[in-house]
Structure formats: C-alpha cells, structure tokens
Amino acid sequence: MMKKKSILFLVTEDWYFISHRLKYAIFLKNKGYKVYVCCKDTGMFKNIKEKGIKCFDIKSNRKSLSVIDFFLEVISFSKCLHKEEPDIIHLVSLRPAVVGLFASFFFRKIKVFITFTGLGFIFIRDNLRTKALRLMIQLFFIIFSRAKCAKAIVQNKDDYELFLKKFFFNKNSISIIRGSGIDLNYFRRASEPKSNNIIICYVGRMLEDKGVHWLIEAYKLARKENKKISLLLVGPLDKKNPTSIDEKTFEEALNFKGINYLGNIKDVRKVWEEAHIGVLLSKREGLPMSLMEAAAVGRPIIATDVAGCREIAINKFNAISVKLGDIKAIKNAILILANDKSLRLQYGKNSRKIVESDMENIKIFKKYLRAYNN
C-alpha cells in the first residue's frame, strides 16, 4: 500500500486559512493527501479540525518586526516539520515565506512551495525601517531563488515581473496561479437589488493600505451630490496590522449619514447580493478575494489601478479604475455608477464573465496540484 503524501501549510492565523485555503485543503484531502496547518490559533482551530485537518499552534505576531519573535516562529515551525516530516510545505504570504524557508533549511528532502498573496506593508510603506527590511528580504529571496527544491507562485502579472527583475528568479522557479479561486456554485450571479438607495460595499480589513480612509472621504463628497447612496463597510478592524485605521477616526466617520459598519460577517455572499457596487482602493494586492466575490455575484467595481486589482477590475469593461489616493476620481466613479443603472448592469455582467474564465476554485486547485506533481 502506497504511503499517503502529506502537505503542511504555514499561514499567519487560523481565520485566514479558513477564508482563503480551507476549501483547497479539503480538496487535497479528497485527493488522498494528509493535510496539516501551522498558524496562530485565534479560537477557530475547531473549525479546521472538524474537517479532518491537524492543526499546530504557532505564536505568530503579524505586527512584530522583532528579530527575536521571528526566530521563535522559525523554531516553532521547525518543530512541526521535525514531528510530521511532510512531503510538501506550502507557505502562504510574505512572513510565512521567510519563516518557512529558514525553518526548512535542514529538511532538504521536503518540497517547498510559496504563494505570495501580495507583498504586504513592507513593500508599500516608505520609511527607513521598511526600506531596510525590504532590502534584507530582497537579498534573502535572491538567495532563495537559487534553491532548486523551492517554487514560488504569484497571483498577478505585476508580481511575476517584479520577482523576475528584482529578486532574480528564473522562469522555471516561478509561476502565476490566479488567487485562491472562487466557488461559482456558491457565489452565483444575483439580480441587482430593487432599491432606490444605491449601496456601495467594501469587504475587507479596515486598513489604510486598503484605502478605507480614501473611500470614506470620497463617499462624503459623493453623498453631497446624491443623497440616495450609502456606504457599507464589512470586515474586522485588525488592530494588529501596522496600517490599521485609527479607531477614533473610524468611529467618528461612522456618524456620517449613510455609512454603515457591520464588522466581521461569516457569510459575505448575502452582503454582495444586497449591494450595487463593489469597491477596493488598495495600495497593492495579490488577487483580492473581495473583488472576486463581488464579480462572481455580478457587481460592477471601483478599484485602484494597482497590482492585483487590475487583474479583476478592468477599466471600462467591468470597472472604473482610479489613481491611488485620488479622492476626486473616486467620488466621480461612485456618482457615475450610482447614476447609471444600465452601466452597472453591463459592468456586472462582464464581472461575472471574468471570474468564469479562469478564476473558478476547482480550476485553481488543479493548477496547484499539477505544480506539486511537477
């Protein structure tokens, strides 16, 4: 009897694994893999374990840039590798990539795959500390790119070119797989809500790097010209993220007419079905899940013209693209879509076409499986 192949995921926290990787992990189990996950337990391990996936708690602190914290994570993950000796480790996002590569250095037989879901605040912010960290990480990945046992996966063309040029990856060690995939049987196309009040919806963490502060300011300006629009914000504050929006400022913004905050919602499908327009004003993305969900339901999009967003938000096809931080352009985009139902419907129809073409989760899962086998 052949031994089952085993795969161990390293991600930051359990909630992220559930929202972005759990369906894929279940797919792997159904294909005969043993699946493990290492991440911080924020109280949701039970939701993962009930699917037959073994969990290991790592005391990760996403906010920390401490070298001591980093090496404690490396040691913790090394213990997981030593205990389970998986055939494959799959590192998801920037911090787990660095931690996992260090930890796997002495486990030469293990195949290493890294999915870069975006390059994080270190590659977005421009202060002295992040510049120094950025340089260190670039040097680290230049060395890593020489390791034949490891493969990198990015989610968009911009990151692919960046890794080839800045990190000196060769084309045999890096590939594009577009996101985590979207379940098109669950996120079905829905008719636009029959309401005179147009709902603009943002789903995600309340971060400055996601452009939430710009969205609020642009909405306030748009509301002065059209009283029949409202803004719906859905997602956690994520206080551990260095770019978390100031809580006091956020609470003050919620007092403005038409702004509603629902916090973290388990089933965002219903949110998108009740919205008219999806929006994301991020500084940089891998391939944003929220826009894939909005597109799958058939919603037009407003998004910044940046890496990741432009993969799903195509200007004048299913979206209005705006320059980073251009509040006037964001305001105008809100008003254009709010005032033109036929344009919303056409863009929404095109949104669905985009995700149907190559973003369905089963297609994405099979691409990952082929990568492992190759």
How confident is the model at residue 27, as a pLDDT?
A: 96
Region 266-281 average pLDDT: 96
% the chain with pLDDT above 70: 91
Region 253-273 average pLDDT: 94
Task: Say how far apart CA 220 and CA 65 lie, in whole Å.
Answer: 36
Place 168 in a pLDDT band, splitting at 50, 70 and 90. low
Q: Which of the residue ranges 19-28, 66-75, 160-169, 308-317 would you say has the lowest mean pLDDT?
A: 160-169
How confident is the model at residue 122, as a pLDDT?
A: 57
How confident is the model at residue 274, as a pLDDT?
A: 97
Task: Say how far apart CA 218 and CA 216 lie, in whole Å.
Answer: 6
Q: Which of the residue ranges 36-45, 193-202, 246-255 would you say has the lowest mean pLDDT?
A: 246-255
Q: Where does the chain hold its CATH 3.40.50.2000 domain(s)? A: 6-181+360-373, 198-358
Question: Token match 């403005």: residue?
Answer: 256
The partner residues of 36 in beta bridges, in order of sequence, read 8, 54
Region 7-35 average pLDDT: 94
At CB < 8 A and 24+ separation, what contacts does 157-160 make?
A: 157/311, 158/307, 158/308, 158/310, 159/116, 159/118, 159/119, 159/286, 159/307, 159/308
User: Is residue 317 pLDDT above 80, yes or no?
Assistant: yes
pLDDT tens, position by position, 183-193: 999 999 999 99
How confident is the model at residue 1, as a pLDDT?
A: 47
Answer yes or no: are the C-beta atoms of 25 and 92 closer than 8 Å.
Answer: no
Place 139 in a pLDDT band, splitting at 50, 70 and 90. confident
How confident is the model at residue 325, as a pLDDT?
A: 95
Average pLDDT of the chain, as a whole number = 90
User: Is residue 65 pLDDT above 70, yes or no?
Assistant: no
Residue of 334 and 171 predicted with greater confidence: 334
Task: Say how far apart CA 121 and CA 207 lie, in whole Å.
Answer: 10
Region 313-336 average pLDDT: 98
Q: Comparing C-alpha atoms, which of 145, 147, 150, 151 is closest to residue 165? A: 145
pLDDT tens, position by position, 23-64: 999 999 999 999 999 999 999 999 999 999 999 998 777 666
Report which secondary-structure segment, H or E, holds 57: strand 54-57
Region 80-102 average pLDDT: 90
SS (H, E, C) 17-33: HHHHCHHHHHHHHHCCC
Region 109-122 average pLDDT: 79
Residue 329 one-letter amino acid? A
How confident is the model at residue 247, as a pLDDT?
A: 86
User: Is residue 148 pLDDT above 60, yes or no?
Assistant: no
Q: Which of the residue ranges 17-31, 73-87, 115-129, 287-301 would you say has the lowest mean pLDDT?
A: 115-129
Answer yes or no: are the C-beta atoms of 299 and 350 closer than 8 Å.
Answer: no
In CATH terms, the superfamily for domain 6-181+360-373 is: Glycogen Phosphorylase B; (3.40.50.2000)
Region 318-335 average pLDDT: 98
Number of helical (H) and strand (E) elements in the chain, helices listed first: 15, 13
Q: Which of the residue ranges 105-109, 263-267, 279-283 would you say has the lowest mean pLDDT?
A: 105-109
User: Is residue 96 pLDDT above 60, yes or no?
Assistant: yes
Place 2 in a pLDDT band, splitting at 50, 70 and 90. low
pLDDT tens, position by position, 210-221: 999 999 999 999
How confident is the model at residue 149, as a pLDDT?
A: 67
Task: Say how far apart CA 17 and CA 13 lie, in whole Å.
Answer: 7
Provide the sign of the torsion angle of the four alpha carbons 298, 302, 305, 309, taken in this order: negative
Place 14 in a pLDDT band, splitting at 50, 70 and 90. very high
Structure token digits, residue 11: 């991600």
User: Is residue 258 pLDDT above 90, yes or no?
Assistant: yes
Residue 257 one-letter amino acid? K
Choose which CATH entry (3.40.50.300, 3.40.50.2000, 3.40.50.150, 1.10.3720.10) describes domain 198-358: 3.40.50.2000
Region 156-163 average pLDDT: 87
Task: Say how far apart CA 29 and CA 12 lie, in whole Å.
Answer: 21
Region 273-293 average pLDDT: 96
The model carries a pTM of 0.88
